[in-house]
Homo-oligomer: A and B are copies of this chain.
Amino acid sequence: MSLAFTLHSTSSQCPARRGEVKTVHGTFQTPIFMPVGTQATVKAVTPEDLQTLEAQIILANTYHLFLRPGHELIRELGGLHKFMNWHGPILTDSGGFQIFSLKDLAKITEQGATFKSHLDGSKKFLSPEDTVAVQEALGSDIMMVLDTCIPYPATEKETIDATKLTSRWAKRCRDVQNQATGQLLFGIVQGGMYPQLREMAVQELLEIGFDGYALGGLSVGEPRDQMYDLTEHGAALLPRDHAKYVMGVGTPDDLVECVYRGVDMFDCVMPTRNARNGMLFTSQGRVVIKNAQYQSDPRPLDENCTCYTCRNYSRAYLRHLYTSREILASHLNTVHNLHYFVNLMTEIRQAIDEDRFVEFRKEFYDKRQV
């Protein structure tokens, strides 16, 4: 049984569930969305903005912080929380996904990952043990094991090899972890698009035993229905008394659909990145703020939204800021999009608490039809 996760309730009609995760820097409620703070800052907002938005936990990227400013420097300065002035829970990924994204610049061996820095081309190496040491130096609340990401599509043979390597790496991570810090360590289920290999991966990870489990290698190009099927299948295999996390997901629809299938935790750059590109989420669907139709529109982005941006600014002003390339555009858009994602999860939690999540899901789609 995990000491970190507490299950509060489950839907009577689907695998959706309510719970909480306890960390050294506080407890957060699940299902939860984690804003991404790649380089020790959630782009375009302050930690106080995140508090106002009621973000409960954020994610930072081990790969980026390892390269710049370096984990030893962050340790010296008192850890990531103090460095970036965010005193709530932080989850760090292991860097596996970023290294995988470097493609030809990365080489995977039994020992670990050799890769070239995207910043200066210098050669770097991270073993599974190294990624734990880096995350311990950062002082994050939830650490992730180093995993090998599997390209899409991949043969069964490639997928078996990569999945088995991920399990061996997971064991090495768990073995070197310093239990005294109170930092949690989550395993990552690979297995590609093969359900039986995902079953094998879950089995191997459960034998090691982690504080929580992520479904990795999803949303990598496969059809959406396949992603949902693998999520449902994977979430059902994972133990009821541990948090279940789908990495890098996703759209508002993805959040609703994955909660429906039993997932507790999510992260994605979508709300922040899209905000900076002028793509905004509303209860009626997406708004591309540069469009001429908003030029003299005095209404807030979303008349049902209570965020700072919607309470104080018109679509016309937001369009002006965006077309004028003003920094305030990124800020106001990010505040709105993060509010949309955080608030969606609050509504989801309320719906599960009141055992009306299936109804909530239907209403969520109905609003789009308006």
Chain A residues with a Cβ under 8 A of chain B: 39-41, 43-46, 68-69, 73, 76-78, 83-85, 295-296, 298, 312-314, 316-317, 319-321, 323-324, 326-328, 330-331
> Smallest distance from the beta carbon of A32 to chain B beta carbons, Å?
23
CB-based nearest B residue for A39 = B324
Query: Which of chain B's residues have a CB closer than 8 A to the CB of A44?
Result: 327-328, 331
Q: Does A39 contact B77, Cβ atoms closer than 8 Å?
A: no
Q: Does A317 contact B40, Cβ atoms closer than 8 Å?
A: yes
* Complex-state Cα separation, A279 to B217, whole angstroms: 43
Q: Does A324 contact B83, Cβ atoms closer than 8 Å?
A: no
* Complex-state Cα separation, A316 to B330, whole angstroms: 24
Q: Does B331 contact A85, Cβ atoms closer than 8 Å?
A: no
The answer to whether residues A296 and B77 also contact, given A313-B85, A317-B84, A331-B331 and a CB cut-off of 8 A, is: yes
Q: Does B77 contact A326, Cβ atoms closer than 8 Å?
A: no
* Complex-state Cα separation, A84 to B328, whole angstroms: 11
* Complex-state Cα separation, A331 to B316, whole angstroms: 23
Which secondary structure dominates where chain A touches chain B?
A: loop
CB-based nearest B residue for A276 = B327
Q: Does B316 contact A68, Cβ atoms closer than 8 Å?
A: no
Q: Does A296 contact B76, Cβ atoms closer than 8 Å?
A: yes
A43 touches which of B77, B85, B295, B328 (Cβ 8 Å): B328
> Smallest distance from the beta carbon of A93 to chain B beta carbons, Å?
17
CB-based nearest B residue for A48 = B308
* Complex-state Cα separation, A132 to B83, whole angstroms: 50
* Complex-state Cα separation, A244 to B233, whole angstroms: 74
* Complex-state Cα separation, A313 to B319, whole angstroms: 32
* Complex-state Cα separation, A73 to B298, whole angstroms: 10
The answer to whether residues A77 and B316 also contact, given A321-B41, A323-B68 and a CB cut-off of 8 A, is: yes
* Complex-state Cα separation, A73 to B313, whole angstroms: 15
A46 touches which of B39, B316, B319, B331 (Cβ 8 Å): B331
> Smallest distance from the beta carbon of A71 to chain B beta carbons, Å?
12
Q: Does B327 contact A77, Cβ atoms closer than 8 Å?
A: no
Query: Which of chain B's residues have a CB closer than 8 A to the CB of A84?
Result: 317
Pick the 3 closest A-B CB pairs, nearest first: A44-B327, A69-B320, A41-B328
Query: Which of chain B's residues have a CB closer than 8 A to the CB of A296?
Result: 73, 76-77
Q: Does A43 contact B326, Cβ atoms closer than 8 Å?
A: yes
> Smallest distance from the beta carbon of A245 to chain B beta carbons, Å?
26
CB-based nearest B residue for A334 = B327
What would be 8 A-B contacts, judged by CB atoms less than 8 Å apart? A39-B324, A39-B326, A40-B320, A68-B320, A73-B316, A83-B320, A85-B312, A327-B327
Q: Does B41 contact A77, Cβ atoms closer than 8 Å?
A: no
CB-based nearest B residue for A317 = B83
Q: Apart from A40-B320, A331-B331, what 10 extra A-B contacts exist at CB < 8 Å? A: A39-B324, A40-B317, A43-B327, A44-B328, A44-B331, A73-B296, A83-B316, A84-B317, A85-B313, A85-B317
